[in-house]
Amino acid sequence: MKNNWIKFNNLPKKDKIFRIINILVTICLFMTSCAFFIYYLVDGDIEKRAFICAGCMVVYLLPYLYELIFRRRISNMVLLFFNIYVFLSAFLGSVVNLYQKISWYDIFIHVLAGYTFAVLGLLFASRVTDYNKTSPWKIALICLVFTLTIEYFWEIIEWTIDNIVGITAQGPRVPGYKAPLVTDTMEDLVCNLSGGILFCIQLLIGKLTKFSLGIKFYEGELCSSSKSEVSENNDVVKNQDENMQTEISDEEELKQDENKKTLN
C-alpha cells in the first residue's frame, strides 16, 4: 500500500484550514456526546442512551485512529461527511430521539445516507478503476452499488446491536415473535436507494453535460486520479516556466559573449 501520509506543515493552506475545522468540529461533537453520556449515566439511562453516547465518542475518533495506524490521510470532505452523518443519525436521531419526535426524520437520514455514501463511492471508484478513462455510467453504477452495500451491512449491524443491547433501532418488537416487523428495514433500504439514485443523476448530468452541479468539486476532493492529473498539469507548467527561463538565460549569455567579441 502506497504511503499517503503528508505532514501537517506540508499541506496546502486550504487543506490546513479545512483540517483544523474538522478537528474543532470533532472535538465539539465528542465533548457534547461526553456530556450527555455523563448525564444519562447519572440519570439512570432508562433507554440506554448512555451506551449510544459512548458509541458516538468512539466512532468520532475512528478516522483519526485509522490515519495514525495506516499513516494515510483521509480526505477532509470524507471527515466532514462522516462527522455530520454520525451527529445527525446517531446523536440527534437516537440520543435526542428525533426518530420518535419527528415522523419523517428517519426517512431524511436514510436518503441522506444513500446520497452521502454514493458520493464517497467516487473515492472507491477512483481506487478500483482508471477513473479518467471510465464511463460515467459505470462510475454511477459503482457508486450506487457502494451505497447499497454500506446500507446492507448497516442493517445487519443495527439488528445485531438491537438483539445484544436490547434497544429498538429497527422498531418495536412484535409480541410473541421477539422481533420487529421487516417494514422499517425495507423502508430504510428504499430510502437509501433513493438517495443513491439522486446522486447518480447528479453525477451523470455533471459528467455528460456542461453543468457540473458540484461533481468537479467532489472529484477534486475524493478522486486520486483527478488530483494526480492536476498535480501533473502543475508540474508541466512549472517545467515549461523553468525551460523558458533557462532559454532566456542562455540567450542573454550568448548576447553578452557576442558583445564582448565585438568590443575586442
pLDDT per residue, tens digit, the chain (264 aa), is 444 567 777 788 888 898 999 999 999 999 999 999 998 888 877 567 888 888 899 999 999 998 888 777 888 888 888 899 999 988 998 888 898 899 899 999 999 999 999 998 998 898 888 888 899 999 999 999 999 999 899 888 877 877 776 666 666 666 766 666 677 788 889 999 999 999 999 999 999 998 988 898 888 878 865 444 444 444 444 555 555 666 666 666 666 666 666 655
Residue 264, CA distances (Å) to 5, 45, 199, 250, 256 in order: 59, 98, 75, 21, 12
Angle CA 99–151–83, to nearest 5: 65
pLDDT at site 237: 46
DSSP secondary structure, 8-45, as one string: GGGS-HHHHHHHHHHHHHHHHHHHHHHHHHHHHHHHT-
Q: What are the sequence ranges of the domains in the chain?
A: 1-96, 103-222
Cα separation, 228 vs 233, whole angstroms = 8
Q: Which residues pair with 174 in a beta bridge?
A: 179
